[in-house]
Structure 1
C-alpha cells in the first residue's frame, strides 16, 4: 500500500505532534486546575489564563509564515483542543483559533489578523446565517466584540463597541445573543461562493476542535470514575471488580478511543484533501457529543450520590459535556446535511 493511502487510514502521531500535545498538556495541567475553572464561573473566561495561552502562540500557530504563523496543521490544533477540554480551561480557544484562521485566509487587514493572532483582539464566529434584526446565540460573544458572520453572500467582520451580554448556560461558557445591528463597523471579507465556502469551512473547523475538547473532557471524567472504582469498596472488595461497574467504564474507554481516532482522521483529511468529505466534521461533532454525554454520565453514576454534588469535579465535566455540545443548537440540522451530502455523493 502506498504511504499516502496508508496514512489516510492511520491516526497515529509523529514526533513533532507528540511534542505539541505534551507541551500544551503540561500548560493546561499546571495553569488550569479545577479551582481555576470554578473561579471563572459563570462566565467561563479567565483573562489572565488566556493571556498566558495566547503567549504560547495558540491562535497564530496554524497561520502561514507570511502571517506570522508556524504552518501548524489541523491535526496539531485538535491535539491542543483535546488538552484544553481535558482541563476545562476557561478560555475561548476554538472560536479564537478558527476566527483567526478565517481572517488570514480571507485577506483581512494585517493589523486585524495580527491582533487576533496575538490574542489581544478576541474574535468569534456566528455559526448560522445572519439577518438584520434577527439575533442568534453566538459562542464566546460575551467576551469578543468582533464577530464574523455570513450575511447573504457576504462574509463580514462585525465590530461592536463591547462584547454582548452574557447568557448563563449549563456549560459555563461566554455565550451571548448577537445580531448584525449591534455592530459599529463592518468589514467585508469575502463574497459569493468564496464567502459561503470559507464560512462552512470555519464552522467545520470549530466543530472539529470542540469535538477534540469533548474527547479530552470525557477521558478526564473517565479517569475520575476509574480511580473512584479502584478505591471504593463494597462487601470487602473494590467496586471496580464488579461487572456492573467495570463494563460500563470499559465501554466509555472504547468510545473515547474510537471518537479520538475519528477526530484525528477528519482533521487529517481536512488538511490534505480539503473539500473531499465536507460532512465529516459534522459527523465527528455528533459522535463526540453523544460520546461525551454518555461518558461523563457514566463516570458520575459510578460515584453514586457523590458524583452529582457540585463539589465533585465529575460534575464539572458532566455539565460541560452537555453544555458545550449544545452551543450551536440542535444537531438535527447537521444530520440532515450529512444525509444530503452522502446521498448526493452516491448519486454523483
Structure 2
C-alpha cells in the first residue's frame, strides 16, 4: 500500500503551516494557554478561511466534501504548533451528530458547528465514561424531552463550548446514550480547572436538571465517534512528535560543548535517531488509521486503537528525549520542550492509556 499524501494535500499542509506560523507562533500559544482559554481569533480564521470543522463532512450536510485525510492533516499541524483551538473536540461533536442524530437535528445543529460559530465539546474522555456503572450523569423525565443532572470532569474546552455532547444514563438506568446540551442553558455551570496541558484547557461541567436532546444509544455508532477522535489524537501526537524531533535536532546543531556542537556526540545522535525511528513507525499506523476512517471499513476499530496507543507512546518518547537533548534548560519554564511533554502526558490517558488500548485491541481481534 502506498502511504503518501497527494500533491494537493501537501499544498494544503504547507498553506496551513504558514498560517499557523504567522498567526499562532509559540509566543502566542503561551499567551493564550496561560490565560486558560482558547485562541478564538485563530479558530475563526481556520473556520472561515479553511472550513476546518467540516472538511471531511459531505457537502449535503454543508461540509467541504473532502476526505478524512485532510482533517488528519489539520490535526497533525495543530499538534505540531500546539495551537489551543477546539478542533478535535468539535469534530467529535460533529461526528456524534452525523452518526446518531435524526434529519431534523442534523439540519438544526450542523450548520453552526461546521462554520465554527458554535464550539462543540464531546464530553467523553475516560475509558469508563460510557459504562452504566460509572456514568456520572443521569437522564430523567419524558424520553422525548429529557433533563440531565450530574457532573462531568475533564471536559476539553468545556468552559468555552457552546454545545456539549454528554454521555448519560437513560431513564431506567440500563444503558448510556449521548445527549446534546446547550451550554448556555440555565443549570449548566462550567468551571475551568487546572490542566497539565496548558494548550488544551479542561473544565468541570455541572448539570442541574438541564433540558437536553437525545442523539442516540447505538453503541456501534458511538464507538465509531470515539474511534474518529482516537485517530485525530494520534495524528495530533504524530505532528507534535515531529516538532519535538526538529526542536531537538536544531538545538543539537547550535549548542556547543568542548568546542563541538553536541549533535556530534554519539549519545545525542542516538537519542535523535531513536525519535526518528519511533516517528516513522507511528506514521505508518496513524496514516493507515486515517485511511480506514475515510473508508469506514471493518478494520477501522482495531487500527484506530493501535494508532492512538502508538501515537501517544511516540509523543511521550520524543517529548522526553527532546528535554534530555536540551539538558538543564529543557526543564525550565522559559524553554518550550516542556509544553510538548505536557501535551504527551495529557493525551496518554484519553480513552485509557496504552495498556488499556492493548487490552482493548486483544479483545477486538479475539485474542
C-alpha displacement of 1:16: 2.3
Q: Distance in 2 between matches of 1:137 and 1:319?
A: 15
Aligned to 1:4: none
* Equivalent residue pairs, number: 332
Residues 85 and 217 (structure 1), Cα distance of their counterparts in 2 relative to 1, 3 Å cut: same
Aligned to 1:175: 202
TM-score, scaled relative to structure 2 = 0.84
Aligned to 1:268: 291
Give the root-mean-square deviation of aligned CA atoms.
Answer: 2.0
C-alpha displacement of 1:182: 4.3
5+ residue gaps, structure 1, are 1-8
Q: What are the Cα deviations for residues 282-308 of structure 1, in whole angstroms up to 9, with x where unaligned?
A: 211111111111101111111111111
C-alpha displacement of 1:265: 0.5
Aligned to 1:140: 157
Q: What are the Cα deviations for residues 85-134 of structure 1, in whole angstroms up to 9, with x where unaligned?
A: 11100101111123223323434242311111111111111222243235
- Structure number having the greater strand percentage: 2
TM-score, scaled relative to structure 1 = 0.89
SS at match of 1:148: strand
Among 24, 28, 36, the residue aligned to 1:32: 24
Q: What are the Cα deviations for residues 285-334 of structure 1, in whole angstroms up to 9, with x where unaligned?
A: 11111111110111111111111111112222222222233344544433
Among 118, 123, 148, the residue aligned to 1:121: 118
- Please say if residues 55 and 70 of structure 2, whose CA atoms lie closer than 8 Å, have aligned partners that are also in contact: no
Among 84, 92, 96, the residue aligned to 1:90: 84
C-alpha displacement of 1:273: 4.5
Q: Which moved more, 1:13-22 or 1:323-332?
A: 323-332
Aligned to 1:112: 109
Aligned to 1:3: none
Aligned to 1:242: 265
C-alpha displacement of 1:163: 6.2
C-alpha displacement of 1:270: 2.1
1:188 maps to 2:214: yes
Q: Distance in 2 between matches of 1:277 and 1:101?
A: 15
- Please say if residues 189 and 205 of structure 2, whose CA atoms lie closer than 8 Å, have aligned partners that are also in contact: no
Q: Distance in 2 between matches of 1:211 and 1:251?
A: 19
Aligned to 2:344: 321
Aligned to 1:165: 191
1:211 maps to 2:204: no
- Please say if residues 179 and 213 of structure 2, whose CA atoms lie closer than 8 Å, have aligned partners that are also in contact: yes
5+ residue gaps, structure 2, are 139-149, 169-174
C-alpha displacement of 1:184: 2.8
SS at match of 2:366: helix
Q: What are the Cα deviations for residues 131-180 of structure 1, in whole angstroms up to 9, with x where unaligned?
A: 3235342222222142213432533212232562112111112212236x
SS at match of 2:33: coil
Q: Which moved more, 1:16-25 or 1:262-271?
A: 16-25
- Please say if residues 196 and 342 of structure 2, whose CA atoms lie closer than 8 Å, have aligned partners that are also in contact: yes
- Please say if residues 289 and 303 of structure 2, whose CA atoms lie closer than 8 Å, have aligned partners that are also in contact: yes
Q: Distance in 1 between matches of 2:352 and 2:157?
A: 14
- Please say if residues 83 and 216 of structure 1, whose CA atoms lie closer than 8 Å, have aligned partners that are also in contact: yes
- Please say if residues 123 and 152 of structure 2, whose CA atoms lie closer than 8 Å, have aligned partners that are also in contact: no
1:49 maps to 2:42: yes
C-alpha displacement of 1:206: 0.9
